[in-house]
Amino acid sequence: MQVDFTTEEAGHLEIWLIPAAGGTDVLAHSEYLDAPGSYQRSLSASQVSVGTHYLALCLDGETIAETVIKQ
């Protein structure tokens, strides 16, 4: 799965996959972004169950983007 995003600030980024039907949230990616800008990350969804999930991007603990995806 490819995720494209733009940040206006530097900070600690976490990308979460959250099952819509409940269950364990999966931390799919974590890194420190040292500058604002446009980024692209490839994520493995192999540890995620089939179904509908929320894809949430958090910067320094605050949700900056959220969308629904189907696995």
pLDDT at 48 (0 to 100): 76
Supply the pTM of this predicted model.
0.88
Q: What is the pLDDT of residues 18-63, one digit of tens each?
A: 999 988 999 999 999 999 999 999 988 777 788 899 999 999 999 9
Q: Where are the domains of the chain?
A: 2-70
CATH topology of domain 2-70: Immunoglobulin-like (2.60.40)
Distance CA 27, CA 60 (A): 14
- Higher pLDDT pick, 13 / 44: 13
pLDDT at 46 (0 to 100): 78
pLDDT mean over 4-9: 94
Nearest CA among 64, 7, 2, 68 for reference residue 29 = 2
Q: Classify residue 3 by its DSSP letter.
A: E
- 32: tokens are 């420190």
